[in-house]
Amino acid sequence: MKSAIKLLSKEIYKTCALVILVLLGLFTFFETIEEFDKLNEIYTLWVMLALQAFQLPTRLYDILPIGLLIGAVVALANLAQRNELVILRVSGLSSRKLLLMLWWITVPIVIFATLLSEVITPWADQRVSAINMAVLGKKSNQLDSGYWFREPSTKDTYRVINLQNLIDNKTVEGIKVYEYSIVDNQFKRLLIAEKGELANKELKLFKVIQTDSLINMDKVLNTEHDPVIKGSNSQKMDMVSLPTSLTESRLLASELKPDRMSTLKLLDYLDYLEENNLEKNRHVVALWRKLSYPFALIVMITLATPLGFVQNRKGGVGAKIFIGILIGIVFFMVNQLSLNMGMLSNLPPWITALLPNIIAMVLAMGALYLIERKPKPKPPILST
């Protein structure tokens, strides 16, 4: 059994690594060719190469499931072509045992994918955002007006915070803080600051202009009053400190796309959204996609197993590879379509994230069951 696992793992790891490198090289090559037209005095060749290098982990994370499927199909097809799978089956290796071996072989790939998702990809995406902001002036994951946050201010008021630029994980520029009444949404106060810092659950604003509203709209609309009313009162202050639920990690989380955050930061950001009654559907879907990713890798290796048992006389290696690529593309498209349809129809995110994987797993297991019912190949009879 150990020899069989060693044989399968060596062949699968080698082939999958080669397939993933080819796919990664192709995607990077075409992306680099497309970026050549954008080169100028600011967006230099070295900046472009740096961006492409930092985008490699994200591309690797995206193509890993399809690369695993194609690599496993090629590896099993090669073993079948050399009659090594036939020898394993004749020696008593059933489809169930082979599948368990392949799942065990996939465990290191799942661990690598988790490391990629939780550590490397978020770090690389932050570097891409920093380069885009510093060199190209591009903002990654916010509106043209900047980043927007909402949180309670007091028992009777809430605030909306607008940040134009993130300098680092603590320093921000171009800050506007709007405060409104919770009861009737009347404007109460506006704080404008050139610069601010986040530290110890406080937002410190420097060189602040504070504007307080002096108008009560109910009284203005429903009672007689002087036609000339002073509407606001402004004053300048060197510093204002505001207690806030924003933290350095939540500030950086707003810079990343939800599916590029680590699970812990995504959960923390979801807590922030839930505490402040903000839209969180996109982040919940991203969380379920991230949690279902290891299962998708298991599904990919399971889909490759029936193709490995197909005899060569029914299709050569090229046909198996083509079928594997086709299955991978169809699975990817169905998965994306399911997620998009789920968001539009307000289905529970876990259903849209897991349903394509479950269907693919059932189909693969059904194919293995049908193959297992067929008689195993008999060993050749040697004449004396």
Residues 79 and 180 in one domain: no
Residues 100 and 12 in one domain: yes
Residues 164 and 225 in one domain: yes
Residues 130 and 206 in one domain: no
Domain total of the chain: 2
Asked whether the predicted pLDDT for residue 181 surpasses 80, the reply is yes
Return the higher-pLDDT residue of 273 and 339: 273
Residues 223 and 157 in one domain: yes
Provide the residue range defining the domain that includes 311: 2-136+281-373
- Would you say residue 44 lies in a domain? yes
Residues 247 and 321 in one domain: no
Residues 360 and 308 in one domain: yes
In this prediction, residue 317 carries a pLDDT of 66
Q: What is the mean pLDDT of residues 9-26?
A: 92
In this prediction, residue 127 carries a pLDDT of 85
Residues 104 and 172 in one domain: no
As a three-state string, the secondary structure of the chain is CHHHHHHHHHHHHHHHHHHHHHHHHHHHHHHHHHHHHHCCCCCCHHHHHHHHHHCHHHHHHHHHHHHHHHHHHHHHHHHHHCCHHHHHHHCCCCHHHHHHHHHHHHHHHHHHHHHHHHHHHHHHHHHHHHHHHHHHCCCCCCECCEEEEEEECCCCEEEEEEEEEECCCCEEEEEEEEEEECCCCCEEEEEEEEEEEEECCEEEEEEEEEEEECCCHHHHHHCCCCCCCCCEEEEEEEEEEEECCCCHHHHHHCCCCHHHCCHHHHHHHHHHHHHCCCCCHHHHHHHHHHHHHHHHHHHHHHHHHHHHHCCHHHCCHHHHHHHHHHHHHHHHHHHHHHHHHHHHHCCCHHHHHHHHHHHHHHHHHHHHHHHHHCCCCCCCCCCC
Residues 131 and 204 in one domain: no
Residues 128 and 172 in one domain: no
Residues 99 and 215 in one domain: no
Residues 245 and 309 in one domain: no
pLDDT band of residue 64 (cuts 50, 70, 90) is: very high
- Would you say residue 260 lies in a domain? no
- Would you say residue 207 lies in a domain? yes
- Would you say residue 275 lies in a domain? no
Q: What is the mean pLDDT of residues 324-350?
A: 76
